[in-house]
């Protein structure tokens, strides 16, 4: 019979548990209610996130292999992957967010692909594809798609720009704010009616910029600038959705 320390969560070997009798299991759980003697389908059948060494009391009697839930019992149990307490998970997320440091990249714009994508060349002759953060311009085949690209080119083509960024998108592009001559190019595109404020990703912007971008779009719409000359302009995300159908 195992001796249980009530002040410590004792990891228990699921694999070894498969050789225990029902009486053994009953004895262990009666002395140590914080130990849940559970088994997986087989010794090698552990799923991703499984408590390989299970000792999380919140799952006693109803543990499912592969469970990735949270509990408040075993924050120090290094073997219990699914037993991370919610508070610890929140702290970990906050720490991760704090670790996101704004990086600064400078270079010459050598290509303007569309109204929200450019390529720059830095002083080491390294090229970087940049996706302007917080905005979404019309696709090239959409109305005002070419106009949006030309407007962006008039602002940045051949110029030295600064890019402030913290992430890359799924295509490997740097997502950031492009600054030229002290002005936020992303915001200028929205003000001119050449791009939408991309609300789907607005949480990536500061609270101040969210307000600025939203106000700029509202004003461009009121003044019927650029793409807002159409009564019902199709958003680029809707255009992409239709293209994939």
Residue with tokens 């940045």: 156
Active site annotation includes 34: no
Structure tokens at 135: 């905005």
| Separation of alpha carbons 92 and 90, rounded Å | 5
Which one is catalytic: 29, 34, 149, 173? 173
As beta bridge partners, residue 178 has 163
Task: Find the radius of gyration of the CA atoms of the chain.
Answer: 27
Which residues are CB-neighbours of 22 under 8 A, at least 6 positions away?
none
In the residue annotation, 173 being an active-site residue is answered as yes
Per-residue H/E/C for the chain: CCCCCCCCCCCCEHHHHCCCCHHHHHHHHHHCCCCCCCCCCCCCCCCCCCCCECCCHHHCCCCCCCCCCCCCCCCCCCCCCCCCCHHHHHHHHHHHHHHCCCEEEEEEEEEEEECCEEEEECCCCCEEEEEECCEECCCCCCCCHHHHHHHHHHHHCCCEEEEEEEEECCCCCEEEEEEECCEEHHHHHHHCCCCEECHHHHHHCCHHHHHHHHHHHHHHHHCCCHHHHCCCCCCHHHHHHHHHC
Catalytic choice (29, 34, 131, 149):
131
Q: Is 139 a catalytic residue?
A: yes
The active-site residue, picked from 139, 207, 241, 245, is 139
Q: Which residues are catalytic?
A: 131, 139, 173
């Amino acid at each position: 019979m195992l001796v249980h320390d009530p002040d410590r969560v004792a990891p228990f070997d699921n694999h070894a548990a498969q050789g225990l009798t029902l009486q053994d299991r009953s004895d262990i759980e009666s002395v140590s209610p914080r130990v849940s003697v559970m088994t997986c389908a087989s010794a090698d059948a552990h799923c991703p996130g499984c408590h390989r060494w299970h000792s999380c009391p919140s799952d006693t009697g109803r543990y499912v292999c592969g469970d990735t839930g949270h509990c408040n019992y075993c924050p120090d149990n290094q073997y219990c992957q699914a037993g991370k307490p919610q508070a610890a998970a929140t702290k970990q997320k906050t720490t991760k967010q704090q670790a996101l440091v704004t990086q600064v990249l400078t270079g010459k714009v050598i290509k303007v692909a569309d109204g929200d994508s450019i390529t720059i060349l830095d002083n080491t002759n390294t090229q970087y594809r940049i996706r302007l953060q917080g905005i979404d311009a019309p696709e090239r085949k959409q109305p005002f798609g070419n106009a949006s690209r030309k407007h962006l080119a008039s602002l940045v083509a051949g110029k030295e720009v600064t890019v402030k960024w913290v992430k890359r998108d799924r295509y490997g592009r740097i997502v950031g704010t492009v600054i030229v001559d002290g002005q936020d190019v992303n915001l200028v595109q929205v003000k001119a009616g050449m791009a939408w404020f991309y609300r789907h990703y607005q949480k990536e912007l500061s609270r101040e910029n969210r307000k600025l971008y939203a106000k700029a779009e509202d004003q461009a719409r009121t003044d019927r600038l650029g793409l807002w000359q159409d009564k019902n302009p199709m958003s680029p995300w809707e255009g992409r959705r239709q293209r994939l159908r």
